[in-house]
Amino acid sequence: MMMRKPGRPLFLVMALMMLFNATVRSQTKPARQVININSDWQFKKDANRRDAALTDLKWKNVTIPHTWNDQDIQAGKGFYAGDASYQKELFAAADWKGKRVFIRFEGVGSVARLYVNDRYIGEHKGSYSAFVFDISYALKYGEQNKIEVKVNNEEREDVIPINNRLFPIYGGIYRPIALIITNSVNIAVTDLASSGVFITQQDVSAKSAALKVKVKLENKSEAAAAKLTLSTSIYDAAGKMVKQAAEKIMVSRQGEQLFNQQLMVSDPHLWNGIKDPYLYKLVVRLADEKGIIDEVTQPLGLRKFEMKPGKGFYLNDQPYRLLGVCRHQDKQDEGNALSNAQHAADLEDIKEMGTTSIRFAHYQQSEYLYSKCDSMGFVIWAEIPFVNAVSTKEAGNAQSQLRELIRQNYNHPSIYVWGLHNEVYGKTPDDYTAVLTRDLDDISKTEDPDRYTVSVSGYGEMDRPTNLNADIQGMNRYYGWYEGKIGDLEQWVSGLEQKFPDYRMVLSEYGTEANIAQQEEVSRETGNPSGQIWPEAYQQKFHEIQWGIIDKHPYIAASYVWNMFDFAVPPANGGNVPARNMKGLMTFDRKVKKDAFYWYKANWNPEPMVYITGRRFTKRTNPKITVTVYSNTGTPILMVNGKKITDVKKGTTSVHYIFENVRLQKGKNKVEAIVSTNNLRDQVDWNLN
């Protein structure tokens, strides 16, 4: 018991007691518990009405994340799409009674139905967004409880994506599951699985940053209204509090309650992309007279994004080049059930290349991934899977998935744009697709008026009505692959600059396939997307020419290579590999970085490097060849079997060196590229048969 000392004011004693109570409470048990429940699940495929041979009705133990399509989709022989079940025994502690217990799924592919103790709780449609159910009233406290999740990943006209044409709809609980346990009065958990806290930044500069924090609260206690204190605290990276706002509030039992708090940060340390991704921490606390009863922590990166029509992207009022790649979330032999460590490894590969921006295509991706982008400084594009086909039955689900995407990721400072669709079309401004895009744009502006929206066309026309219903028009251009020649990109972008100088435009996809097992010297001007020969050298040439064009046109405010990694496509059958899109700069298993990877690394990453291309073309048949070297640190010297080669010319950018008329000798040839000023060298061995 705390004793009052003589002369100490009563109000100070009371304040100390409240502080003592809050400290004791925080030391014994946090106000909010988050418990991962990813282990000890049982799984089985259910009876498949289409293909009984693909079913497996035996239960087996699995750990989440899990997908049942980790192998069959990439085999190209058909894959299981249908019903499956997961179940788990969950002990509900007796002291949870009287609290609120939620179960949160970060991603289930693609329709999930939850049962607790055989009681139906609810359904969620969509593979890529998180969802939450309140299971407080279905649990038996002090006992074991049966948790069952029924999952289906068949194509559906009312759930986007409506088909498997561009990428597979993997089945399973492929992202983590957690229990969230709160007091009866809490910061909202069931607001489309959001944090319940929404941070709006205004007037951000090096002098100050104005913040508005909206908090959603729920009261499920027996009291008609709870008398509480709501506080918002901002901490710098060292853990020092730099700003706080607090107020006394009344939280009614009737409906969700909204409260706003205003804060001003003076002389902020700005989030500045890859150069300096500085993060504050914002903590919202709810307290009664005994101490903290709920608490939520969110990232805070203070920054200003602006895309100026015809001029490019600006970060904190300074030009900032968005050097981008697209990323799918699947991996060979893993499917889409990736661990946080695997997500982090992908980002490290992307960072090595000097990338500053990522388009996470074509769907909401891992929460961990977005958080890592905050701390690593990537400027990112997040989107929903409204892609490639229209059924006219998907509007409600598309709208729902967009709301989920925005609310669940609202506070990530790295996100600059919400993607509304990719390659879906309409001929007039009043047709289904154009109207749905307009409605999606309106939802985005209502949910988050401070971020851009983007829609993506597979055509090179700026004035298509469907795509003018967003702030930014993305265009997917595949000159030299699906149409025309590689260099046609120049005429296209020059034409847009002249005709539409005041439009915001990004090159949302460009690229070509490359099978690293297929090596040859390539001089062709076009590829063959329907063929079986996709040599790596053609991808190298493609990107050398096209980045050389993009680099000269700041009118292209952002550009995104399709794709960072090879990925699965169930109906694909080209390049002598089934069910695979091989436009990646790295292979599906992440083991090989293709030559084009090093092209971008040389152009984008200032760290000194030298690299000889064609290193996998080890068995040569032509004694007279051309050798390409990338060097971002000066002109390299090429040595072939100890002899210096002097016939060199510059290529499409300053890092591009081409050595012509290089002669090989029969048998083994040692080829070296040397930059003496930095003591850098690269070596390959080629054999001439």
List the catalytic residues. Answer: 423
Determine contact, residues 172/85, Cβ cutoff 8 Å. Answer: no
Q: What tokens appear for 571 in the block?
A: 């109906």
**683, β-bridge pairs:** 672
**Residue holding tokens 């009614």?**
252
Contacts of 354 (CB under 8 A, 6+ apart): 323, 600, 601, 603, 604, 605, 606
Cα gap 196→26, rounded to integer Å:
21
Q: What are the phi and psi torsion angles at 22 (to 5°)? A: -65, -40
Nearest-CA neighbor of 511 among 492, 496, 491, 529? 529
Question: Is the peptide bond preceding residue 623 cis, with omega within 30 degrees of 0?
Answer: no
**199, β-bridge pairs:** 213
In angstroms, the Cα distances linking 206 to 199, 267, 315 are: 19, 6, 12
Cα gap 415→365, rounded to integer Å:
12
Q: What angle do CA 620, 625, 629 make, to 5 degrees?
A: 105
Contacts of 608 (CB under 8 A, 6+ apart): 632, 633, 675, 678, 680
Give DSSP secondary structure letters for 554-586. Answer: TTS-EEEES-SB-EEEEEEEETTEEEEE---SB
Nearest-CA neighbor of 237 among 170, 299, 325, 150? 299
Helix, strand, coil share (%) of the chain residues, nearest 5:
20, 40, 40
Residue 61, class by beta-carbon neighbours within 10 Å (0-12 exposed, 13-18 middle, 19+ buried)?
A: exposed
Beta strand 619-620 with 680-688 is: parallel
> Crossing angle, helix 367-376 and helix 395-409, to 10 degrees?
40
CA 300 to chain centre: 18
Give DSSP secondary structure letters for 460-482. Answer: --TT-TTGGGSSEEEEE--BTTT
CA atoms within 13 A of residue 96's CA, in its CB half-sphere: 23
Nearest-CA neighbor of 353 among 595, 678, 603? 603
In angstroms, the Cα distances linking 72 to 86, 128, 170, 561 are: 19, 20, 10, 27
Instruction: Tell me how crowded residue 492 is: count the other CB atoms within 10 A of its CB.
Output: 16
CA 500 to chain centre: 30
Cα gap 381→280, rounded to integer Å:
22
Contacts of 230 (CB under 8 A, 6+ apart): 215, 217, 246, 247, 249, 259, 261, 284, 285, 286
Contacts of 449 (CB under 8 A, 6+ apart): none
CA 149 to chain centre: 26
